[in-house]
Amino acid sequence: MTRVGIPQGLFYFYHYPLWKTFFSDLGAEVITSGPTSRQTIDVGIDHAVDECCLPIKVYFGHVYQMMQQQPDYILVPRLISTEHRSYICPKFMGIPDMIRATMPDCPPLIDITIDCSRETRQLWRDIYQLGTLFKASRKSTKAAYEHGLQEMRSLRVLVRQGYTPGEAMQLWENNGEGQTLDNNSDICVGVLGHGYSLYDPAISLNLIQRLRDLGCKVVLLESCSRDLVEQEAARLPKKVFWTLGRKMLGSALVMDQSEDIDGIVYLACFGCGPDSMVGDIVSRKVNHKPFMLVTIDEHSGEGGLLTRLEAFCDMLRRKQVRELESNIPAYGFYAHSH
């Protein structure tokens, strides 16, 4: 049986169900590199160019760990665009080449180009081409890919219920068995960030779980209504052409107006180009709620992060008490003071 390895980094948190289903339906065995560990990060830092962001370095670590399992192929898609006239960070485009250059012993890469910025015909041609690797007919290749898309959508339904993509993935793989959400929280925090850093507990220093441990309900950008997000993002004078950046901006504005959300935390990666723009725009546009931008890099000392999160939660709680006591929304009053 042909073994296809899928590194557990970058768009894994968005696209894994698609590829897992696709390759399984074509008769391949799918293996992954496992969750990010300290070792993954260390190996990644050794192999990647030093000026890229941490999630990309970690991805290199995953590919390296994938190699150790000696699969027949490793899936490293060349991601350019996943929707019309919007793009993924340009660093993603060169990843298959960078990996071949730094890890010459790597098994053959499946570096299918994903570019839906103008049309999808080329993508379909590439998918059919990929099917021939597994001696599949056009018809069964198409069926497998469509099945994959359907599975990816079912995962999104779970995420919309409040699970993180990681938790949803576990539920999806174990047919609904996994942790359940408990709602023992008095404050609600909206959390934004690129999925590949936010949903990887090793990269985000477990930000989401830490907020939950501090008694917060966490609302992710994936659970905001897509139409509303697009509508809010379109209020900017110029369209944000990074897919993830636009979604974060739109969700921030949706959260800013949502009555249920008490505050917003934005996780940015040091060295991320889009974040340096989008993070700043978001902090200027969020005017009704407390907002905190957290920048992470290769730290393993978690104290700094914890101090900031604790202080943020303290602030939200004291504000809540104050509003209850005085019946005056403490916020609207100063809404435009910063």
Partner 1 sequence: MQYFLGVDIGSVSSNFVLIDQQQQVVSKVYLRTNGNPVNAIREGFQSLRRQMPEDAGIAAVGATGSGRHLADIILGADVVKNEITTHAVAACHYDPACQTVIEIGGQDSKIIILRDGIVYDFAMNTVCAAGTGSFLDQQAARLGIAIENLGEQSLASSRPVRIAGRCGVFAESDMIHKQQMGYPMSDILMGLCEAMVRNYLNNVGKGKKILAPVVFQGGVAANRGIRKAFEKSLGLPVAVPENHDVMGAIGAAILAGEAVSASQPTRFRGDGFILEGDFKTRSLDCQGCPNLCEVACIMRDRKILSYWGDRCRKWETSLKPAAQAVVV
Site residues (CB under 8 A) for partner 1?
Answer: 37-40, 202, 206, 270, 283-284, 290, 295, 297, 303-304, 306-308, 310-311, 314-315, 318-319, 322, 330, 334, 337-338
Reduce the DSSP state of residue 192 to 3 states and report it.
Answer: strand
Minimum CB separation of residue 185 from partner 1 in Å reads 19
> Which residues is 73 bridged to in the sheet?
4
Residue 83 DSSP symbol: B
Query: Closer to partner 1 at the Cβ: 41 or 75?
Result: 41
Minimum CB separation of residue 206 from partner 1 in Å reads 7
Reduce the DSSP state of residue 336 to 3 states and report it.
Answer: coil
Q: Which amino acid is at 184?
A: N
CA 4 to chain CA centroid, Å, is 22
* The token pair that represents 42 in the structure block: 């260390």
Minimum CB separation of residue 304 from partner 1 in Å reads 8
Query: Closer to partner 1 at the Cβ: 119 or 323?
Result: 323
Minimum CB separation of residue 193 from partner 1 in Å reads 15
> Which residues is 75 bridged to in the sheet?
110
Minimum CB separation of residue 298 from partner 1 in Å reads 11
Query: Closer to partner 1 at the Cβ: 109 or 252?
Result: 252
Query: Closer to partner 1 at the Cβ: 241 or 270?
Result: 270
Query: Closer to partner 1 at the Cβ: 39 or 161?
Result: 39
Minimum CB separation of residue 311 from partner 1 in Å reads 4
Closest CA to 59 of 155, 194, 240, 170: 194
Question: Strands, DSSP E only, in 102-246?
Answer: 109-110, 113-115, 187-193, 216-220
Query: Closer to partner 1 at the Cβ: 83 or 310?
Result: 310
Distances (CA, A) of 9 to 36, 51, 183, 289: 8, 18, 29, 32
Reduce the DSSP state of residue 59 to 3 states and report it.
Answer: helix
